[in-house]
Amino acid sequence: MIRFILNNKPVVAEGPPGLLLLDLIRYKEHLTGTKVGCREGDCGACTVLIGEWKEGRMRYLTATSCLTALGNIHHRHVVTVEGLNLQGLNPLQQAICEEGGTQCGFCTPGFIVSMAGFCLSGQAPTQANARAAVDGNICRCTGYKSIERALDKVVELLNEAPAVDVMDKGILPAYFKDIPRQMKALLLEPNGVLHGENGRAIRGTRDVSRKFLGGGTDLYVQQHEVMEEESGIEFLSAGKEWKGVIRQGDHCIIGGAATVTDLMESPVIRKAFPHFGDYARLISSTPIRNIATVAGNFVNASPIGDLTIFFLALDAQLTLSDGDTSRELPLRKFYKGYKQLDKRPEEFIERIIFRLPGVDDVFHFEKVSKRTCLDIASVNTAMMVRMSGSAIGEARISAGGVGPVPAILEAASRLITGRTPDSGLVREVIAQAQEEISPIGDARGTEAYKRLLLGQLIKAHFLTLFPQLPVADIMEI
Ligand SMILES: Cc1cc2nc3c(=O)[nH]c(=O)nc-3n(C[C@H](O)[C@H](O)[C@H](O)COP(=O)(O)OP(=O)(O)OC[C@H]3O[C@@H](n4cnc5c(N)ncnc54)[C@H](O)[C@@H]3O)c2cc1C
Ligand code: FES
Ligand code: FES
Rama region for 122: left / alpha / beta (φ>0; ψ in -120 to 50; rest): left
Q: Cβ neighbours of residue 195 under 8 Å, at least 6 residues apart?
A: 74, 201, 238, 239
Q: What's the rounded Cα separation, in Å, for the pair 210 and 225?
A: 17
Please indicate whether residue 66, judged by its CB atom, sits closer than 6 Å to ligand 2. Answer: yes
Q: What's the rounded Cα separation, in Å, for the pair 187 and 111?
A: 30
Mean pLDDT calculated for residue range 38-59: 96
Ligand nearest to the CA of 35: 2
Task: Report pLDDT digits (tens) over 122-176.
Answer: 999 999 999 999 999 999 999 899 999 999 999 999 998 766 678 878 889 999 9
- Which numbered atom of ligand 3 lies nearest the CA of 107? 4
| Highest mean pLDDT (candidates 86-90, 121-125, 167-171, 451-455) | 451-455
State residue 210's pLDDT score. 85
Task: Write out residues with Cβ below 6 Å of ligand 3.
Answer: 102-108, 139-142
State residue 206's pLDDT score. 54
The residue to mutate among 43, 107, 286, 374, having the most atoms of ligand 2 within 8 angstroms of its beta carbon, is 43
Task: Report pLDDT digits (tens) over 387-437.
Answer: 999 899 999 999 999 999 999 999 999 999 999 999 999 999 999 999 999
Lowest pLDDT segment from 70-74, 187-191, 293-297: 187-191
Please indicate whether residue 171, judged by its CB atom, sits closer than 6 Å to ligand 2. Answer: no
Lowest pLDDT segment from 65-74, 83-92, 185-194: 185-194
Mean pLDDT calculated for residue range 291-317: 98
The answer to whether 260 touches 292, Cβ cutoff 8 Å, is: yes
State residue 288's pLDDT score. 98
CA distances for 30 relative to 23, 25, 37, 80, 83, angstroms: 9, 6, 17, 11, 13
Lowest pLDDT segment from 5-9, 192-196, 228-232, 437-441: 192-196
Do strands 211-213 and 57-64 pair parallel, antiparallel, or not at all (unpaired)?
unpaired
The CB density around residue 260, as the number of other CB atoms within 10 Å, is: 26
State residue 57's pLDDT score. 92
State residue 320's pLDDT score. 98
pLDDT category of residue 6 using cuts at 50, 70 and 90 = very high
Task: Report pLDDT digits (tens) over 328-352.
Answer: 999 999 999 999 999 999 999 999 9
Please indicate whether residue 42, judged by its CB atom, sits closer than 6 Å to ligand 2. Answer: yes
55: pLDDT strictly greater than 80 = yes
Give helix 91-98 / helix 108-120 axis angle, nearest 10°: 130
State residue 30's pLDDT score. 97
192: pLDDT strictly greater than 60 = no
State residue 190's pLDDT score. 64
pLDDT category of residue 3 using cuts at 50, 70 and 90 = very high
State residue 33's pLDDT score. 97
Task: Report pLDDT digits (tens) over 201-252.
Answer: 444 455 667 899 999 999 999 998 899 888 889 999 988 889 999 999 999 9
pLDDT category of residue 196 using cuts at 50, 70 and 90 = very low
State residue 193's pLDDT score. 43
For residue 141, the CA-to-ligand 3 centroid distance in Å is 5
Q: What is the CA radius of gyration of the chain?
A: 23
Residue 14, classed as helix, strand or coil, is coil
Query: What is the DSSP annotation of 190-215?
Result: ---SSS-TTS-S------TT-EEESS
State residue 278's pLDDT score. 95
- Which numbered atom of ligand 1 lies nearest the CA of 256? 41
Task: Report pLDDT digits (tens) over 8-47.
Answer: 999 999 889 999 999 999 999 999 999 999 999 999 999 9
Ligand nearest to the CA of 114: 2
Task: Please give the sequence-ordered ranges of beta strands (E in DSSP) within 68-117, or none if there are none.
Answer: 77-79
Please indicate whether residue 306, judged by its CB atom, sits closer than 6 Å to ligand 1. Answer: yes
Q: What's the rounded Cα separation, in Å, for the pair 294 and 297?
A: 5
Please indicate whether residue 213, judged by its CB atom, sits closer than 6 Å to ligand 1. Answer: yes
The CB density around residue 199, as the number of other CB atoms within 10 Å, is: 9
Please indicate whether residue 45, judged by its CB atom, sits closer than 6 Å to ligand 2. Answer: yes
57-64 β-sheet, strand order? 9-13, 2-6, 77-79, 47-54, 57-64
200: pLDDT strictly greater than 50 = no
Please indicate whether residue 80, judged by its CB atom, sits closer than 6 Å to ligand 1. Answer: no
Protein residue whose Cα sits closest to atom 2 of ligand 3: 104
Q: What's the rounded Cα separation, in Å, for the pair 409 and 416?
A: 11
Q: Which amino acid is at 13?
A: A
Task: Please give the sequence-ordered ranges of beta strands (E in DSSP) within 7-46, or none if there are none.
Answer: 9-13
309: pLDDT strictly greater than 80 = yes
pTM: 0.95
Please indicate whether residue 46, judged by its CB atom, sits closer than 6 Å to ligand 1. Answer: no
pLDDT category of residue 292 using cuts at 50, 70 and 90 = very high
Q: What's the rounded Cα separation, in Å, for the pair 194 and 15?
A: 14
Ligand nearest to the CA of 25: 2
